[in-house]
Structure 1
Amino acid sequence: MPRPAEAALLSTSLIPTDNSTYEALPLVDSESLQALITHEALNASALELFAIANASVKEYGHPTRVIGSGGHYKTLGWIEKQLKNMSDYYTYEKQEFKALNGMVFNHSLSVNGVKVLDEKPFQLTPAAHVYWADLVVIDNLGCEDIDYAPLNASLSTNTVALIKRGECPFGNKSSLAGKWGASAALIYDPESDEIITGTLGTPTNTTVGTLGISKTLAESLIAQKNAGVPLKINMFIAAYVGFIKTKNIIATTIHGDQDNIVALGAHSDSVEAGPGINDDGSGTISLLNVAAQLTNFKINNAVRFAWWAAEEEGLLGSNFYAYNLTALENSKIRLFMDYDMMASPNFEYQVYNGSNELNPPGSEELKQLYIDYYESKGLPWVLIPFDGRSDYVGFIETGIPAGGIAAGAEGKNSQNGEVLDKCYHALCDDVTNLNWDAFLTNTQLIAHSVATYANSLEGFPLREPPKVASSADVPYKFNLHGNFYIM
């Protein structure tokens, strides 16, 4: 893939010339690095990050760290400030790129003149102003043109499409609804009564204003339609969608073998709906704490910490970085580890189910590292699909082995059947939405992963030649990519 003209690597900190202090440090080992990770430091960072999210209250009416907000700009500044304090150990780069940004100012929904109180707008939804439109129930999951035959059969030219969640990205459903004549769309989850939300991703010429509603409301509307009750929809969304500049921050150790780089990342942004202290403030904090404590040790292999922007808009920052690596830069990255949502309140210890058969060689070794760690602590763990949900995607697609852990999003805990993170993509994802046992354990596991590979890559598979990604032929492609499953 060609390097876009807007790619820009900005400031880097200066490399010190005196290595005597560094040479006096002990060689990194896992137990020593883990011992420096504390509840107190994680808690202090979480409180700071929530205060930063409040910088957006005046503009958004609530705390958020969505890209383009004061909360996100201050998050980036907070990360940079800490890296500057470690300038004798790390250099860092700021990589600017363009990303879609949207904002919903207000919205409303009514059925036959009765206001619906529980509905949520999708991120990157366009505006909508629909008056007294007919509701049309879409067949199947709304992922194929044929599913929209009911719109084609409708005698009305003023319609709102009611669509189930599932199989394809939300944006595909909204765009297909508009393509077949709907003025707006409503989406619901047939498996849960949670009011659905998410991102529509990059808009098309036919994307329409889209709201999420509950299963209860959707099933009531469907039952009324089947009984022949006329349903008229009023739907209003005041919103805009446009491009902004945002940036990744990438810090690399000055020392260690620069031809064998151990890379790891978390995303620095939240959704618009809330402050994102678990998603992914927890990963952001974990990386900063591990990076700070690693400065107490010598390393054999270089370590690269990355904070990606615009993950919630479709993995934009990490993909931009991975696709813009030269073949030489790519070949130096031996592995990538993704850390997204470390402290979910009703957590599971989740390990991405990577394999060397389906993914770049080394992905399975990363999976086993995490499993071995949890088992050494007597902790239960579960495998979760390695299906393109988070920031490892661009690395896998360009031939870099990857893995990672998570504590859970909107799914249910396999032990108790309750939602893993009740505040996933919601306003209540604040400092009260963190499980401190999971946060500490997972951050110590991150420290273990860094110490293990910073010390030695012996036995870890050698890199295969870098893959050159293109829109026509992307290796290691996932079925679910981008704006449907996003953490």
Structure 2
Amino acid sequence: MVFFSGFALCAAFAGTGALQIPLLSSHNQAPLGHPHGSKPVVNSTELQDLISGDRLMIRAKKMYEIAKLGEEEYNHPTRVIGSAGHIGTLSYIYEEILKLGDYYDISNQTFPAVSGNVFESRLVLGDQVAKSAAPMGLTPPTKDNEPVHGDLVLVENEGCQSTDFPDSVAGNIAFIKRGVCPFGTKSENAGRKGAVAAIVYNYEKDSVAGTLGTPSPYHVATFGLSGEEAGPVIEKLEKKKRFDSIAYIDAEVSQINTVNIIAQTTEGDADNCVMLGAHSDSVAEGPGINDDGSGSISLIEVATQLTKFNVSNCVRFAWWAGEEEGLLGSDYYVASLPEEENAKIRLFMDYDMMASPNFAYQIYNATNALNPNGSEQLRDLYIEWYKDQGLNYTFIPFDGRSDYDGFIRNGIPGGGIATGAEGIKTKKEEEMFGGKHGSWFDPCYHQLCDDVGNVNVTAWVVNTRLIAHSVATYANSFKGFPERTKSVASSAYEKDVKYHGSKLFI
């Protein structure tokens, strides 16, 4: 890690394909709280009382204005990595922490990433435009960024082996069942056999969203397709009937550098760190004010208010880049930790999507049997807090779709809370939390409408106060919390977790 100024943060992107922007602010904030040396030890109730919906919303509006910096390149607000909107987000986070003086040491961890952008796409099956067709993340374009024509060729098994692809796929479009190997493997196998494009269809009626992952010269333009639309096509193909198709993707994939921002208290036991994180980037399709502007802003606000107190244990805040591309930033961070530094992190708390409009108060159902020792104690802290507030809560499983995954896989106790993404709220959950059953927890998940109007302020304040409680509790003491051991996630975790990031199927 290297330390450098907010100006250098912007300058660090020179020559990487990312736009440079000026700093969003440069003034220093007035000293907060008590005079230096006379601050009280952090108190959970007092820290929670400093959280306000007004301050969160002011920051949300600022972040939306920053997302508009992406309009020139993407034609709409976005904070996707590599965009001016994301560089602006990084500058904003850095400047907000810099205002807090010497309470924090700030470090920027630069790492390589791959950025993809789909400008236009269409898939025609027979004489019908496929309504559920969605280009895979990091897909290359069709040849010369123009439509390609070909017959659909049904691939045997799940396309995980090159032998699954018949020779007839050359010059045509591979039709591949979703399955146990990464989408990138399927696309690469199709390309090696000469396919001009590939379609990965679902075995269930739902649509398929995914990413091809690390680019390969053999990747071909690849769509995901719902099982509902794939069904009639498969019936015809199995009867050996010809089914022509037109695929079109105008896209680009490029190598860039991006940045994790880490802020650690200068005081507190540096051998026993409370760590928490949120991701600073959005998807290309929208501004990402709930996903995960809400978590990023909650961390900024808790970090700001924490400066009014002394801490016994160090607190380390992280804003990850490249989460939407497959947990790139958090993976890079954990992989870069020497063993002795890994051991200093007593636990990691993930705060991704704190303010979904149709929310539920969700807790990751961590247990010490399946996860590193201490994960269950963190889960129980969340449970007790919701109970103390007279609020309902529900459990969600670890599925590998957020930044806790790399920590748990590397032996660091982990957990977190969320308010829901594209999952469907049940009737029971409507009775528990209000809202509307049968609808997504976040109807604007990964869409252009994830803007300032897409946050539930009540849920956001509640969860930011819980974040404050989690920080205050462990910044004060780890009494009763298990010591770190060299345990890692169990084989059951490895088996049950089918995703690594919000899109990537393993």
Bin for the TM-score computed over the shorter chain: 0.7 to 0.9
**Aligned residue in 2 for 1:132:** 149
Q: 1:484 to 1:454 in 2, by over 3 A?
A: closer
What secondary structure does 2:322 align onto? coil
Which deviates the most, 377-386 or 25-34? 377-386
CA drift of 1:305 comes to 0.4
Q: 1:388 to 1:202 in 2, by over 3 A?
A: same
1:413 paired residue among 418, 421, 425: 425
**Aligned residue in 2 for 1:4:** none
**Distance across 1 between alignment mates of 2:304 and 2:502:** 34
Root mean square deviation, CA, Å: 2.9
Q: 1:117 to 1:402 in 2, by over 3 A?
A: closer
CA contact (8 A) 1:22 1:298 kept: no
Q: 1:63 to 1:165 in 2, by over 3 A?
A: farther
CA drift of 1:207 comes to 2.2
Is 2:438 the counterpart of 1:422? no
Q: 1:475 to 1:419 in 2, by over 3 A?
A: closer
CA contact (8 A) 1:397 1:475 kept: no
- For residue 378 of structure 1, what is the amino acid of its counterpart? G
CA contact (8 A) 1:123 1:272 kept: no
Is 2:498 the counterpart of 1:480? yes
Is 2:314 the counterpart of 1:302? yes
- For residue 40 of structure 2, what is the amino acid of its counterpart? P
For residues 168-195 of structure 1, what are the alpha-carbon distances to aligned partners after superposition, in whole Å with 9 as ceiling and x for unaligned?
43333333433455321223445455x5
Q: 1:49 to 1:460 in 2, by over 3 A?
A: same
**Distance across 2 between alignment mates of 1:139 and 1:349:** 43
Matches within 5 A, 1:316-335: 316-335=328-347
**Aligned residue in 1 for 2:481:** 460
**Distance across 1 between alignment mates of 2:178 and 2:422:** 14
For residues 87-118 of structure 1, what are the alpha-carbon distances to aligned partners after superposition, in whole Å with 9 as ceiling and x for unaligned?
23111000101011122232222234554466
For residues 277-323 of structure 1, what are the alpha-carbon distances to aligned partners after superposition, in whole Å with 9 as ceiling and x for unaligned?
11111110111111111111111111000000011111111111111
2:91 paired residue among 56, 59, 77: 77
**Distance across 2 between alignment mates of 1:123 and 1:345:** 26
**Aligned residue in 2 for 1:11:** 4
1:249 paired residue among 252, 261, 264: 261
**Aligned residue in 2 for 1:16:** none
- For residue 97 of structure 2, what is the amino acid of its counterpart? L
Which deviates the most, 231-240 or 439-448? 231-240
CA contact (8 A) 1:168 1:484 kept: no
**Aligned residue in 1 for 2:52:** 38
Is 2:219 the counterpart of 1:207? yes
Q: 1:119 to 1:316 in 2, by over 3 A?
A: same
2:373 paired residue among 353, 361, 369: 361
CA drift of 1:390 comes to 1.2
Is 2:114 the counterpart of 1:93? no
What secondary structure does 2:461 align onto? helix
- For residue 72 of structure 2, what is the amino acid of its counterpart? K
Aligned pairs, how many? 467
**Distance across 1 between alignment mates of 2:179 and 2:458:** 33
**Distance across 1 between alignment mates of 2:304 and 2:504:** 28
CA drift of 1:233 comes to 1.1
Q: 1:124 to 1:401 in 2, by over 3 A?
A: same
Which deviates the most, 178-187 or 91-100? 178-187
For residues 153-212 of structure 1, what are the alpha-carbon distances to aligned partners after superposition, in whole Å with 9 as ceiling and x for unaligned?
x7453322334445543333333433455321223445455x543322112343221123
What secondary structure does 1:278 align onto? helix
Is 2:62 the counterpart of 1:48? yes
**Distance across 1 between alignment mates of 2:303 and 2:159:** 43
TM-score, with normalisation over the residues of structure 2?
0.85
CA contact (8 A) 1:169 1:483 kept: no
Q: 1:476 to 1:11 in 2, by over 3 A?
A: farther
**Distance across 2 between alignment mates of 1:30 and 1:419:** 33
CA drift of 1:373 comes to 1.4
CA contact (8 A) 1:170 1:483 kept: no
Q: 1:145 to 1:59 in 2, by over 3 A?
A: same
CA drift of 1:223 comes to 4.3
TM-score, with normalisation over the residues of structure 1?
0.88
1:274 paired residue among 278, 286, 291: 286
Matches within 5 A, 1:429-440: 429-440=450-461
What secondary structure does 1:88 align onto? helix
What secondary structure does 2:153 align onto? strand
Is 2:186 the counterpart of 1:173? yes
2:134 paired residue among 120, 135, 140: 120
**Distance across 2 between alignment mates of 1:31 and 1:155:** 68
2:390 paired residue among 356, 371, 378: 378
Q: 1:213 to 1:466 in 2, by over 3 A?
A: closer
Identical columns (%): 49
- For residue 70 of structure 1, what is the amino acid of its counterpart? A
What secondary structure does 2:290 align onto? coil
- For residue 260 of structure 1, what is the amino acid of its counterpart? N
Q: 1:320 to 1:47 in 2, by over 3 A?
A: same
Q: 1:162 to 1:427 in 2, by over 3 A?
A: farther
